Structure 1
Protein backbone atom coordinates (compact mmCIF):
# COMPACT_ATOMS: atom_id res chain seq x y z
CA UNK A 1 0.00 0.00 0.00
CA UNK A 2 2.79 2.40 0.99
CA UNK A 3 4.75 1.52 -2.16
CA UNK A 4 1.67 2.18 -4.33
CA UNK A 5 1.07 5.55 -2.68
CA UNK A 6 4.74 6.50 -3.09
CA UNK A 7 4.64 5.53 -6.78
CA UNK A 8 1.48 7.61 -7.31
CA UNK A 9 3.03 10.67 -5.65
CA UNK A 10 6.16 10.31 -7.77
CA UNK A 11 4.15 10.26 -11.00
CA UNK A 12 1.62 12.91 -9.98
CA UNK A 13 1.93 16.07 -12.06
CA UNK A 14 -0.17 18.87 -10.50
CA UNK A 15 -0.37 20.80 -13.77
CA UNK A 16 -1.65 17.76 -15.68
CA UNK A 17 -3.59 15.85 -13.05
CA UNK A 18 -4.70 18.69 -10.78
CA UNK A 19 -8.03 19.35 -12.55
CA UNK A 20 -9.22 15.70 -12.58
CA UNK A 21 -8.19 15.33 -8.94
CA UNK A 22 -10.04 18.55 -8.02
CA UNK A 23 -13.16 17.25 -9.77
CA UNK A 24 -13.00 13.96 -7.85
CA UNK A 25 -12.62 15.84 -4.55
CA UNK A 26 -15.59 18.12 -5.31
CA UNK A 27 -17.76 15.16 -6.30
CA UNK A 28 -16.86 13.19 -3.18
CA UNK A 29 -17.54 16.22 -0.99
CA UNK A 30 -20.99 16.69 -2.54
CA UNK A 31 -21.81 13.00 -2.24
CA UNK A 32 -21.05 13.10 1.47
CA UNK A 33 -22.31 16.56 2.45
CA UNK A 34 -24.66 18.15 -0.09
CA UNK A 35 -28.34 17.12 0.17
CA UNK A 36 -30.08 15.83 -2.97
CA UNK A 37 -26.86 15.93 -5.02
CA UNK A 38 -27.75 12.72 -6.85
CA UNK A 39 -31.33 13.75 -7.56
CA UNK A 40 -32.14 13.78 -11.33
CA UNK A 41 -33.32 17.38 -11.09
CA UNK A 42 -29.98 18.44 -9.59
CA UNK A 43 -28.13 16.70 -12.42
CA UNK A 44 -30.38 18.36 -15.02
CA UNK A 45 -29.84 21.83 -13.55
CA UNK A 46 -26.06 21.44 -13.34
CA UNK A 47 -25.78 20.13 -16.90
CA UNK A 48 -27.99 22.97 -18.16
CA UNK A 49 -25.89 25.59 -16.43
CA UNK A 50 -22.51 24.13 -17.26
CA UNK A 51 -23.38 23.78 -20.95
CA UNK A 52 -23.18 27.49 -21.73
CA UNK A 53 -19.92 27.86 -19.79
CA UNK A 54 -18.43 24.87 -21.61
CA UNK A 55 -19.47 26.05 -25.07
CA UNK A 56 -17.96 29.49 -24.56
CA UNK A 57 -14.88 28.07 -22.80
CA UNK A 58 -14.09 25.77 -25.74
CA UNK A 59 -14.18 28.76 -28.07
CA UNK A 60 -12.09 30.78 -25.63
CA UNK A 61 -9.53 27.96 -25.61
CA UNK A 62 -8.93 28.44 -29.34
CA UNK A 63 -8.40 32.18 -28.89
CA UNK A 64 -6.04 31.73 -25.95
CA UNK A 65 -4.16 29.09 -27.95
CA UNK A 66 -3.20 31.84 -30.40
CA UNK A 67 -1.86 33.96 -27.55
CA UNK A 68 -4.99 36.14 -27.40
CA UNK A 69 -7.98 36.67 -25.15
CA UNK A 70 -11.65 37.52 -25.77
CA UNK A 71 -13.46 39.68 -23.24
CA UNK A 72 -16.45 40.22 -25.52
CA UNK A 73 -18.11 36.79 -25.30
CA UNK A 74 -20.68 37.88 -22.71
CA UNK A 75 -21.70 40.86 -24.82
CA UNK A 76 -21.96 38.63 -27.91
CA UNK A 77 -24.27 36.32 -25.95
CA UNK A 78 -26.43 39.29 -24.98
CA UNK A 79 -26.58 40.57 -28.56
CA UNK A 80 -27.53 37.18 -30.02
CA UNK A 81 -30.02 36.64 -27.22
CA UNK A 82 -31.61 40.04 -27.86
CA UNK A 83 -31.98 39.48 -31.60
CA UNK A 84 -33.72 36.08 -31.47
CA UNK A 85 -36.89 37.30 -29.69
CA UNK A 86 -37.08 40.32 -32.00
CA UNK A 87 -37.28 37.93 -34.94
CA UNK A 88 -39.90 35.74 -33.21
CA UNK A 89 -42.04 38.77 -32.42
CA UNK A 90 -41.77 40.19 -35.94
CA UNK A 91 -44.50 40.13 -38.61
CA UNK A 92 -42.25 37.95 -40.77
CA UNK A 93 -42.15 35.16 -38.15
CA UNK A 94 -45.90 35.44 -37.65
CA UNK A 95 -46.51 34.98 -41.38
CA UNK A 96 -43.82 32.31 -41.90
CA UNK A 97 -43.40 30.32 -38.64
CA UNK A 98 -40.87 27.80 -39.98
CA UNK A 99 -38.70 30.40 -41.68
CA UNK A 100 -39.02 32.55 -38.59
CA UNK A 101 -37.63 29.73 -36.45
CA UNK A 102 -34.71 29.21 -38.81
CA UNK A 103 -34.02 32.94 -38.95
CA UNK A 104 -34.18 33.25 -35.14
CA UNK A 105 -31.34 30.72 -34.88
CA UNK A 106 -29.26 31.49 -37.96
CA UNK A 107 -29.32 35.30 -38.01
CA UNK A 108 -28.11 35.79 -34.40
CA UNK A 109 -25.28 33.30 -34.95
CA UNK A 110 -24.30 35.05 -38.19
CA UNK A 111 -24.23 38.33 -36.30
CA UNK A 112 -22.06 36.70 -33.63
CA UNK A 113 -19.67 35.48 -36.34
CA UNK A 114 -19.43 39.06 -37.62
CA UNK A 115 -18.49 40.17 -34.11
CA UNK A 116 -15.67 37.62 -34.24
CA UNK A 117 -14.48 39.04 -37.55
CA UNK A 118 -14.48 42.52 -35.99
CA UNK A 119 -12.37 41.33 -33.03
CA UNK A 120 -10.05 39.29 -35.22
CA UNK A 121 -9.40 42.14 -37.65
CA UNK A 122 -8.59 44.53 -34.81
CA UNK A 123 -6.18 42.04 -33.23
CA UNK A 124 -4.55 40.57 -36.32
CA UNK A 125 -4.64 43.15 -39.10
CA UNK A 126 -4.60 46.36 -37.05
CA UNK A 127 -2.29 45.07 -34.32
CA UNK A 128 -4.52 46.10 -31.40
CA UNK A 129 -3.77 44.26 -28.16
CA UNK A 130 -6.38 41.47 -27.71
CA UNK A 131 -7.49 42.68 -24.29
CA UNK A 132 -8.07 46.19 -25.68
CA UNK A 133 -9.66 45.06 -28.95
CA UNK A 134 -12.20 42.78 -27.29
CA UNK A 135 -12.84 45.29 -24.51
CA UNK A 136 -14.33 47.55 -27.20
CA UNK A 137 -17.13 45.09 -27.91
CA UNK A 138 -17.33 44.11 -24.24
CA UNK A 139 -18.57 47.65 -23.65
CA UNK A 140 -20.44 48.42 -26.87
CA UNK A 141 -21.98 45.01 -27.59
CA UNK A 142 -24.18 44.87 -24.51
CA UNK A 143 -25.14 48.50 -25.08
CA UNK A 144 -26.20 47.65 -28.62
CA UNK A 145 -28.26 44.72 -27.31
CA UNK A 146 -30.05 47.04 -24.89
CA UNK A 147 -30.69 49.56 -27.65
CA UNK A 148 -32.26 46.82 -29.80
CA UNK A 149 -34.62 45.85 -26.97
CA UNK A 150 -35.13 49.37 -25.55
CA UNK A 151 -33.84 47.94 -22.30
CA UNK A 152 -36.96 45.81 -21.90
CA UNK A 153 -37.33 42.17 -20.94
CA UNK A 154 -38.56 40.25 -24.02
CA UNK A 155 -40.73 37.21 -23.43
CA UNK A 156 -41.99 34.75 -26.03
CA UNK A 157 -43.13 31.15 -26.39
CA UNK A 158 -41.91 28.82 -29.13
CA UNK A 159 -41.70 25.09 -28.28
CA UNK A 160 -39.28 24.20 -31.08
CA UNK A 161 -36.84 26.96 -30.13
CA UNK A 162 -37.20 26.19 -26.42
CA UNK A 163 -35.99 22.65 -27.14
CA UNK A 164 -32.46 24.15 -27.32
CA UNK A 165 -32.67 24.85 -23.61
CA UNK A 166 -35.28 22.48 -22.19
CA UNK A 167 -35.27 19.46 -24.49
CA UNK A 168 -34.08 16.05 -23.35
CA UNK A 169 -32.40 13.22 -25.23
CA UNK A 170 -32.16 9.85 -23.45
CA UNK A 171 -33.18 11.62 -20.26
CA UNK A 172 -30.35 14.17 -20.37
CA UNK A 173 -30.51 17.84 -21.42
CA UNK A 174 -30.18 18.39 -25.16
CA UNK A 175 -27.53 21.07 -24.65
CA UNK A 176 -25.38 18.51 -22.82
CA UNK A 177 -25.25 16.37 -25.95
CA UNK A 178 -24.61 19.52 -27.98
CA UNK A 179 -21.59 20.30 -25.80
CA UNK A 180 -20.14 16.83 -26.38
CA UNK A 181 -20.69 17.14 -30.15
CA UNK A 182 -19.01 20.55 -30.29
CA UNK A 183 -16.17 19.25 -28.14
CA UNK A 184 -15.63 16.27 -30.44
CA UNK A 185 -15.60 18.46 -33.56
CA UNK A 186 -13.20 21.02 -32.07
CA UNK A 187 -10.93 18.28 -30.74
CA UNK A 188 -10.71 16.83 -34.25
CA UNK A 189 -10.03 20.26 -35.71
CA UNK A 190 -7.19 20.95 -33.27
CA UNK A 191 -5.64 17.49 -33.53
CA UNK A 192 -6.21 16.57 -37.18
CA UNK A 193 -6.90 19.58 -39.37
CA UNK A 194 -4.46 21.95 -41.05
CA UNK A 195 -6.14 24.87 -39.28
CA UNK A 196 -5.60 23.20 -35.90
CA UNK A 197 -1.89 22.64 -36.52
CA UNK A 198 -1.53 26.21 -37.73
CA UNK A 199 -3.41 27.48 -34.68
CA UNK A 200 -0.99 25.79 -32.29
CA UNK A 201 2.00 26.93 -34.35
CA UNK A 202 0.87 30.56 -34.21
CA UNK A 203 0.39 30.39 -30.45
CA UNK A 204 3.66 28.57 -29.92
CA UNK A 205 5.82 30.99 -31.90
CA UNK A 206 4.09 33.54 -34.11
CA UNK A 207 7.30 34.79 -35.74
CA UNK A 208 8.40 31.28 -36.66
CA UNK A 209 4.89 30.57 -38.00
CA UNK A 210 5.11 33.59 -40.30
CA UNK A 211 8.50 32.51 -41.59
CA UNK A 212 7.07 29.04 -42.23
CA UNK A 213 4.40 30.53 -44.48
CA UNK A 214 1.44 30.03 -42.14
CA UNK A 215 -1.35 32.59 -42.78
CA UNK A 216 -1.20 34.05 -39.27
CA UNK A 217 -3.84 36.72 -39.88
CA UNK A 218 -6.33 34.20 -41.22
CA UNK A 219 -5.72 31.77 -38.35
CA UNK A 220 -6.19 34.43 -35.67
CA UNK A 221 -9.35 35.79 -37.25
CA UNK A 222 -10.67 32.23 -37.56
CA UNK A 223 -10.14 31.60 -33.84
CA UNK A 224 -12.05 34.76 -32.88
CA UNK A 225 -14.84 33.94 -35.33
CA UNK A 226 -15.32 30.45 -33.88
CA UNK A 227 -15.24 31.82 -30.33
CA UNK A 228 -17.87 34.47 -31.08
CA UNK A 229 -20.05 32.01 -32.99
CA UNK A 230 -20.09 29.65 -30.01
CA UNK A 231 -20.85 32.58 -27.70
CA UNK A 232 -23.82 33.45 -29.91
CA UNK A 233 -25.06 29.85 -29.67
CA UNK A 234 -24.69 29.98 -25.88
CA UNK A 235 -26.77 33.15 -25.82
CA UNK A 236 -29.54 31.40 -27.73
CA UNK A 237 -29.48 28.51 -25.26
CA UNK A 238 -29.90 30.89 -22.33
CA UNK A 239 -32.87 32.55 -24.06
CA UNK A 240 -34.37 29.15 -24.88
CA UNK A 241 -34.11 28.05 -21.24
CA UNK A 242 -35.88 31.15 -19.95
CA UNK A 243 -38.23 31.81 -22.91
CA UNK A 244 -37.15 35.40 -22.36
CA UNK A 245 -34.27 37.73 -23.12
CA UNK A 246 -32.75 40.29 -20.77
CA UNK A 247 -29.90 42.10 -22.52
CA UNK A 248 -28.60 43.45 -19.23
CA UNK A 249 -28.08 39.99 -17.71
CA UNK A 250 -27.45 37.40 -20.43
CA UNK A 251 -23.79 36.47 -20.48
CA UNK A 252 -22.95 38.68 -17.51
CA UNK A 253 -19.42 37.75 -16.31
CA UNK A 254 -19.36 34.83 -18.76
CA UNK A 255 -15.95 35.96 -20.04
CA UNK A 256 -14.52 35.32 -16.57
CA UNK A 257 -16.08 31.87 -16.29
CA UNK A 258 -14.87 30.94 -19.78
CA UNK A 259 -11.31 32.09 -19.14
CA UNK A 260 -11.28 30.33 -15.76
CA UNK A 261 -12.57 27.08 -17.29
CA UNK A 262 -10.01 27.21 -20.10
CA UNK A 263 -7.10 27.86 -17.73
CA UNK A 264 -8.22 25.23 -15.21
CA UNK A 265 -8.51 22.79 -18.11
CA UNK A 266 -4.84 23.25 -18.99
CA UNK A 267 -4.87 25.96 -21.65
CA UNK A 268 -1.60 27.89 -21.49
CA UNK A 269 -2.13 31.66 -21.31
CA UNK A 270 0.94 32.24 -23.48
CA UNK A 271 -0.63 30.12 -26.24
CA UNK A 272 0.40 27.03 -28.16
CA UNK A 273 -1.93 24.52 -26.48
CA UNK A 274 -5.68 23.93 -26.90
CA UNK A 275 -7.07 21.09 -24.74
CA UNK A 276 -10.73 21.26 -25.75
CA UNK A 277 -12.04 18.61 -23.39
CA UNK A 278 -9.81 20.11 -20.72
CA UNK A 279 -11.89 23.27 -21.08
CA UNK A 280 -15.03 21.15 -20.69
CA UNK A 281 -13.58 19.63 -17.52
CA UNK A 282 -12.72 23.12 -16.27
CA UNK A 283 -16.28 24.29 -16.93
CA UNK A 284 -17.64 21.39 -14.88
CA UNK A 285 -15.32 22.30 -12.00
CA UNK A 286 -16.31 25.99 -12.12
CA UNK A 287 -20.02 25.09 -12.11
CA UNK A 288 -19.70 22.51 -9.34
CA UNK A 289 -17.76 24.91 -7.12
CA UNK A 290 -20.54 27.47 -7.49
CA UNK A 291 -23.26 24.86 -6.93
CA UNK A 292 -21.48 23.36 -3.90
CA UNK A 293 -21.14 26.71 -2.18
CA UNK A 294 -24.72 27.76 -2.87
CA UNK A 295 -26.18 24.36 -1.94
CA UNK A 296 -24.40 24.55 1.41
CA UNK A 297 -25.61 28.04 2.26
CA UNK A 298 -22.56 30.06 1.18
CA UNK A 299 -23.24 33.43 -0.43
CA UNK A 300 -22.86 33.83 -4.19
CA UNK A 301 -20.22 36.50 -3.63
CA UNK A 302 -17.98 33.88 -2.04
CA UNK A 303 -18.28 31.81 -5.23
CA UNK A 304 -16.68 34.70 -7.13
CA UNK A 305 -13.78 34.70 -4.68
CA UNK A 306 -13.48 30.93 -5.07
CA UNK A 307 -13.29 31.30 -8.86
CA UNK A 308 -10.49 33.82 -8.46
CA UNK A 309 -8.65 31.39 -6.21
CA UNK A 310 -9.07 28.60 -8.76
CA UNK A 311 -7.59 30.78 -11.52
CA UNK A 312 -4.63 31.76 -9.32
CA UNK A 313 -3.97 28.10 -8.50
CA UNK A 314 -4.21 27.06 -12.16
CA UNK A 315 -1.82 29.81 -13.31
CA UNK A 316 0.59 28.93 -10.50
CA UNK A 317 0.61 25.27 -11.58
CA UNK A 318 1.28 26.34 -15.18
CA UNK A 319 4.28 28.38 -14.06
CA UNK A 320 5.53 25.55 -11.87
CA UNK A 321 5.34 23.16 -14.80
CA UNK A 322 7.34 25.54 -17.02
CA UNK A 323 10.08 25.74 -14.40
Structure 2
Protein backbone atom coordinates (compact mmCIF):
# COMPACT_ATOMS: atom_id res chain seq x y z
CA UNK A 1 0.00 0.00 0.00
CA UNK A 2 1.41 3.37 -1.06
CA UNK A 3 2.35 5.72 1.78
CA UNK A 4 1.92 9.41 0.94
CA UNK A 5 3.82 12.42 2.25
CA UNK A 6 1.78 15.45 3.34
CA UNK A 7 2.68 17.50 0.26
CA UNK A 8 1.54 14.62 -1.99
CA UNK A 9 -2.11 15.05 -0.93
CA UNK A 10 -3.38 16.03 -4.45
CA UNK A 11 -1.90 12.82 -5.82
CA UNK A 12 -3.22 10.80 -2.89
CA UNK A 13 -6.76 12.10 -3.51
CA UNK A 14 -6.65 11.23 -7.22
CA UNK A 15 -5.16 7.79 -6.70
CA UNK A 16 -7.69 7.18 -3.93
CA UNK A 17 -10.51 7.87 -6.40
CA UNK A 18 -8.92 5.47 -8.88
CA UNK A 19 -8.82 2.77 -6.21
CA UNK A 20 -12.49 3.38 -5.39
CA UNK A 21 -13.47 3.07 -9.05
CA UNK A 22 -11.55 -0.18 -9.42
CA UNK A 23 -13.22 -1.57 -6.29
CA UNK A 24 -16.63 -0.58 -7.69
CA UNK A 25 -15.86 -2.26 -11.02
CA UNK A 26 -14.72 -5.41 -9.24
CA UNK A 27 -18.05 -5.57 -7.43
CA UNK A 28 -20.10 -4.88 -10.58
CA UNK A 29 -18.59 -6.18 -13.81
CA UNK A 30 -21.14 -4.23 -15.86
CA UNK A 31 -19.64 -0.90 -14.81
CA UNK A 32 -17.14 0.54 -17.31
CA UNK A 33 -14.45 2.62 -15.64
CA UNK A 34 -11.59 2.58 -18.15
CA UNK A 35 -12.14 6.08 -19.51
CA UNK A 36 -12.46 7.67 -16.08
CA UNK A 37 -9.49 5.73 -14.67
CA UNK A 38 -7.31 6.85 -17.58
CA UNK A 39 -8.37 10.46 -17.08
CA UNK A 40 -7.65 10.38 -13.36
CA UNK A 41 -4.36 8.54 -13.90
CA UNK A 42 -3.20 11.26 -16.29
CA UNK A 43 -4.15 13.95 -13.78
CA UNK A 44 -2.35 12.12 -10.99
CA UNK A 45 0.81 11.75 -13.10
CA UNK A 46 0.72 15.43 -14.04
CA UNK A 47 0.25 16.43 -10.40
CA UNK A 48 3.15 14.22 -9.32
CA UNK A 49 5.45 15.69 -11.98
CA UNK A 50 4.50 19.24 -10.98
CA UNK A 51 5.08 18.55 -7.27
CA UNK A 52 8.46 16.89 -7.76
CA UNK A 53 9.68 19.61 -10.15
CA UNK A 54 9.64 22.14 -7.29
CA UNK A 55 10.48 20.21 -4.13
CA UNK A 56 11.87 22.34 -1.31
CA UNK A 57 14.88 21.12 0.72
CA UNK A 58 12.52 20.16 3.55
CA UNK A 59 10.30 18.17 1.19
CA UNK A 60 13.41 16.42 -0.15
CA UNK A 61 14.26 15.56 3.45
CA UNK A 62 10.85 13.93 3.81
CA UNK A 63 11.38 11.96 0.58
CA UNK A 64 14.83 10.85 1.79
CA UNK A 65 13.17 9.51 4.96
CA UNK A 66 10.22 7.85 3.23
CA UNK A 67 9.55 4.50 4.95
CA UNK A 68 9.10 2.69 1.61
CA UNK A 69 12.35 3.98 0.14
CA UNK A 70 14.78 1.16 -0.85
CA UNK A 71 17.16 0.33 1.99
CA UNK A 72 20.56 -1.34 2.10
CA UNK A 73 19.02 -4.82 2.11
CA UNK A 74 17.22 -4.02 -1.15
CA UNK A 75 20.44 -2.90 -2.84
CA UNK A 76 22.29 -6.00 -1.68
CA UNK A 77 19.48 -8.28 -2.84
CA UNK A 78 19.36 -6.63 -6.27
CA UNK A 79 23.03 -5.89 -6.96
CA UNK A 80 25.13 -8.38 -5.02
CA UNK A 81 25.45 -12.14 -5.50
CA UNK A 82 27.10 -14.66 -3.17
CA UNK A 83 26.50 -12.21 -0.33
CA UNK A 84 28.26 -13.24 2.88
CA UNK A 85 27.64 -10.88 5.83
CA UNK A 86 30.15 -10.84 8.67
CA UNK A 87 29.28 -9.97 12.25
CA UNK A 88 31.04 -8.48 15.23
CA UNK A 89 33.92 -6.10 15.79
CA UNK A 90 36.09 -8.68 17.65
CA UNK A 91 36.20 -6.24 20.55
CA UNK A 92 32.76 -5.87 22.11
CA UNK A 93 29.72 -7.13 20.17
CA UNK A 94 27.71 -7.17 16.96
CA UNK A 95 25.91 -4.02 15.83
CA UNK A 96 23.09 -4.71 13.37
CA UNK A 97 22.79 -1.03 12.40
CA UNK A 98 25.78 -1.49 10.11
CA UNK A 99 25.76 -4.44 7.75
CA UNK A 100 29.13 -5.48 6.31
CA UNK A 101 30.53 -8.37 4.36
CA UNK A 102 31.64 -9.63 0.98
CA UNK A 103 29.95 -10.63 -2.24
CA UNK A 104 30.16 -10.24 -5.99
CA UNK A 105 29.06 -7.31 -8.13
CA UNK A 106 28.70 -8.36 -11.77
CA UNK A 107 30.97 -11.28 -10.90
CA UNK A 108 33.68 -9.12 -9.32
CA UNK A 109 34.51 -9.57 -5.60
CA UNK A 110 33.54 -6.51 -3.54
CA UNK A 111 33.26 -5.54 0.11
CA UNK A 112 29.94 -3.99 1.17
CA UNK A 113 29.32 -1.58 4.06
CA UNK A 114 26.16 0.27 4.93
CA UNK A 115 23.55 1.30 7.43
CA UNK A 116 20.30 -0.65 7.45
CA UNK A 117 17.24 1.17 8.84
CA UNK A 118 14.77 -1.69 8.60
CA UNK A 119 11.30 -1.61 7.06
CA UNK A 120 9.03 -2.82 9.87
CA UNK A 121 8.75 -2.18 13.60
CA UNK A 122 10.65 -5.38 14.35
CA UNK A 123 13.49 -4.77 11.89
CA UNK A 124 13.77 -1.06 12.75
CA UNK A 125 14.31 -1.96 16.39
CA UNK A 126 16.76 -4.70 15.42
CA UNK A 127 18.82 -2.28 13.32
CA UNK A 128 18.35 0.63 15.73
CA UNK A 129 16.87 2.73 12.88
CA UNK A 130 20.27 2.71 11.15
CA UNK A 131 22.02 4.56 14.00
CA UNK A 132 25.25 2.69 14.63
CA UNK A 133 27.13 2.24 17.88
CA UNK A 134 30.96 2.16 18.16
CA UNK A 135 31.09 -1.56 17.50
CA UNK A 136 29.37 -1.00 14.16
CA UNK A 137 32.12 1.33 12.99
CA UNK A 138 34.80 -0.99 14.35
CA UNK A 139 33.21 -3.80 12.37
CA UNK A 140 33.37 -1.55 9.28
CA UNK A 141 37.09 -0.99 9.94
CA UNK A 142 37.60 -4.76 10.23
CA UNK A 143 35.94 -5.36 6.86
CA UNK A 144 37.88 -2.53 5.20
CA UNK A 145 41.15 -3.97 6.51
CA UNK A 146 40.27 -7.35 5.03
CA UNK A 147 39.29 -5.78 1.71
CA UNK A 148 42.56 -3.85 1.62
CA UNK A 149 44.59 -6.96 2.39
CA UNK A 150 42.99 -8.95 -0.42
CA UNK A 151 42.78 -6.07 -2.91
CA UNK A 152 38.96 -5.95 -3.02
CA UNK A 153 37.08 -2.68 -3.83
CA UNK A 154 34.76 -1.28 -1.17
CA UNK A 155 31.18 -0.15 -1.82
CA UNK A 156 29.40 1.84 0.91
CA UNK A 157 25.68 2.59 1.09
CA UNK A 158 24.94 5.49 3.44
CA UNK A 159 21.55 5.82 5.10
CA UNK A 160 21.56 7.11 8.66
CA UNK A 161 20.22 10.03 10.65
CA UNK A 162 23.53 9.89 12.53
CA UNK A 163 25.53 7.72 14.89
CA UNK A 164 23.68 6.56 18.01
CA UNK A 165 24.14 9.23 20.75
CA UNK A 166 23.36 7.04 23.78
CA UNK A 167 25.41 7.02 26.97
CA UNK A 168 26.68 3.49 26.38
CA UNK A 169 27.90 4.39 22.91
CA UNK A 170 29.74 7.42 24.24
CA UNK A 171 31.29 5.38 27.04
CA UNK A 172 32.61 2.87 24.49
CA UNK A 173 34.25 5.59 22.39
CA UNK A 174 31.76 6.61 19.71
CA UNK A 175 33.79 9.59 18.48
CA UNK A 176 37.01 7.59 18.36
CA UNK A 177 35.34 4.74 16.48
CA UNK A 178 33.96 7.16 13.86
CA UNK A 179 37.37 8.79 13.51
CA UNK A 180 39.10 5.41 13.05
CA UNK A 181 36.58 4.38 10.41
CA UNK A 182 37.06 7.68 8.56
CA UNK A 183 40.84 7.26 8.80
CA UNK A 184 40.67 3.72 7.43
CA UNK A 185 38.46 4.88 4.53
CA UNK A 186 41.05 7.53 3.65
CA UNK A 187 44.09 5.25 3.77
CA UNK A 188 42.67 2.34 1.75
CA UNK A 189 44.85 1.26 -1.16
CA UNK A 190 41.81 -0.16 -2.95
CA UNK A 191 39.13 1.97 -4.66
CA UNK A 192 36.04 2.81 -2.62
CA UNK A 193 32.74 4.37 -3.62
CA UNK A 194 30.04 5.71 -1.29
CA UNK A 195 26.42 6.27 -2.28
CA UNK A 196 24.04 8.25 -0.06
CA UNK A 197 20.76 6.44 -0.66
CA UNK A 198 18.63 8.24 1.94
CA UNK A 199 19.95 10.28 4.84
CA UNK A 200 23.64 11.06 5.19
CA UNK A 201 23.77 12.31 8.75
CA UNK A 202 26.89 13.80 10.35
CA UNK A 203 29.91 11.70 11.34
CA UNK A 204 27.74 8.62 11.31
CA UNK A 205 27.64 8.95 7.52
CA UNK A 206 31.12 10.25 6.78
CA UNK A 207 32.68 7.36 8.71
CA UNK A 208 31.98 5.13 5.69
CA UNK A 209 31.54 7.83 3.03
CA UNK A 210 35.13 9.10 2.76
CA UNK A 211 35.59 7.56 -0.65
CA UNK A 212 37.25 8.01 -4.04
CA UNK A 213 33.82 8.75 -5.45
CA UNK A 214 30.85 9.99 -3.43
CA UNK A 215 27.43 9.91 -5.09
CA UNK A 216 23.95 10.82 -3.89
CA UNK A 217 20.52 9.80 -5.02
CA UNK A 218 18.66 12.83 -6.35
CA UNK A 219 16.36 13.19 -3.34
CA UNK A 220 18.83 12.08 -0.66
CA UNK A 221 20.27 14.53 1.87
CA UNK A 222 23.77 14.84 3.32
CA UNK A 223 24.56 17.16 6.22
CA UNK A 224 26.55 17.72 9.37
CA UNK A 225 23.38 17.56 11.46
CA UNK A 226 19.68 16.90 10.92
CA UNK A 227 17.48 19.90 10.09
CA UNK A 228 15.69 19.43 13.41
CA UNK A 229 18.99 19.38 15.30
CA UNK A 230 20.26 22.43 13.42
CA UNK A 231 17.05 24.33 14.17
CA UNK A 232 17.29 23.47 17.85
CA UNK A 233 20.86 24.78 18.04
CA UNK A 234 20.37 27.91 15.90
CA UNK A 235 16.89 29.00 16.96
CA UNK A 236 16.18 26.80 19.99
CA UNK A 237 13.11 25.62 18.13
CA UNK A 238 12.94 22.26 16.30
CA UNK A 239 9.78 23.50 14.54
CA UNK A 240 12.02 25.65 12.34
CA UNK A 241 13.49 22.56 10.70
CA UNK A 242 12.17 23.72 7.31
CA UNK A 243 14.22 26.91 7.55
CA UNK A 244 17.26 24.94 8.68
CA UNK A 245 16.95 22.52 5.76
CA UNK A 246 16.96 25.43 3.32
CA UNK A 247 19.88 27.27 4.91
CA UNK A 248 22.06 24.20 5.49
CA UNK A 249 22.30 23.34 1.75
CA UNK A 250 21.76 19.61 2.24
CA UNK A 251 20.38 18.58 -1.17
CA UNK A 252 22.29 16.71 -3.86
CA UNK A 253 22.18 19.74 -6.21
CA UNK A 254 23.69 22.01 -3.56
CA UNK A 255 26.41 19.58 -2.58
CA UNK A 256 27.35 18.83 -6.18
CA UNK A 257 27.76 22.56 -6.74
CA UNK A 258 30.04 22.83 -3.70
CA UNK A 259 32.15 19.88 -4.83
CA UNK A 260 31.31 17.85 -1.71
CA UNK A 261 29.96 15.00 -3.85
CA UNK A 262 31.00 13.79 -7.29
CA UNK A 263 27.69 12.99 -8.92
CA UNK A 264 23.94 12.55 -8.60
CA UNK A 265 21.97 9.39 -9.42
CA UNK A 266 18.58 10.51 -10.81
CA UNK A 267 15.36 9.25 -9.27
CA UNK A 268 12.10 8.62 -11.13
CA UNK A 269 9.26 11.10 -10.68
CA UNK A 270 7.77 10.50 -7.27
CA UNK A 271 11.02 9.32 -5.69
CA UNK A 272 12.88 6.03 -5.37
CA UNK A 273 10.06 4.47 -3.34
CA UNK A 274 7.64 4.60 -6.30
CA UNK A 275 9.91 2.86 -8.80
CA UNK A 276 12.71 1.15 -6.85
CA UNK A 277 13.76 -1.04 -9.78
CA UNK A 278 14.68 2.09 -11.78
CA UNK A 279 16.91 3.44 -9.01
CA UNK A 280 18.53 0.06 -8.45
CA UNK A 281 19.38 -0.17 -12.16
CA UNK A 282 20.83 3.36 -12.17
CA UNK A 283 22.90 2.55 -9.09
CA UNK A 284 24.23 -0.58 -10.78
CA UNK A 285 25.33 1.53 -13.74
CA UNK A 286 27.05 4.08 -11.48
CA UNK A 287 29.00 1.40 -9.61
CA UNK A 288 29.96 -0.34 -12.85
CA UNK A 289 31.30 2.96 -14.22
CA UNK A 290 33.31 3.58 -11.07
CA UNK A 291 34.91 0.13 -11.05
CA UNK A 292 35.79 0.46 -14.74
CA UNK A 293 37.36 3.89 -14.17
CA UNK A 294 39.57 2.62 -11.33
CA UNK A 295 40.46 -0.77 -12.80
CA UNK A 296 44.22 -1.14 -13.03
CA UNK A 297 45.08 1.86 -10.84
CA UNK A 298 47.88 1.25 -8.35
CA UNK A 299 47.44 1.50 -4.59
CA UNK A 300 49.41 4.74 -4.30
CA UNK A 301 47.47 6.31 -7.16
CA UNK A 302 44.13 5.34 -5.60
CA UNK A 303 45.14 6.73 -2.22
CA UNK A 304 46.50 9.96 -3.72
CA UNK A 305 43.33 10.46 -5.79
CA UNK A 306 41.22 10.23 -2.64
CA UNK A 307 43.50 12.57 -0.71
CA UNK A 308 43.50 15.23 -3.42
CA UNK A 309 39.75 14.97 -3.85
CA UNK A 310 39.04 15.86 -0.23
CA UNK A 311 41.73 18.53 -0.01
CA UNK A 312 40.15 20.23 -3.04
CA UNK A 313 36.71 20.63 -1.42
CA UNK A 314 36.04 24.34 -0.99
CA UNK A 315 39.22 25.45 -2.72
CA UNK A 316 37.35 27.06 -5.63
CA UNK A 317 34.58 28.74 -3.64
Q: Which bin holds the TM-score, normalised by the shorter protein?
A: under 0.3
Q: Which has the higher helix share?
A: 1
Q: Which has the higher strand share?
A: 2
Structure with the bigger RCO (C-alpha within 8 Å, sep 6+) is: 1
Structure of greater Rg: 2
TM-score by length of 1: 0.23
TM-score by length of 2: 0.23
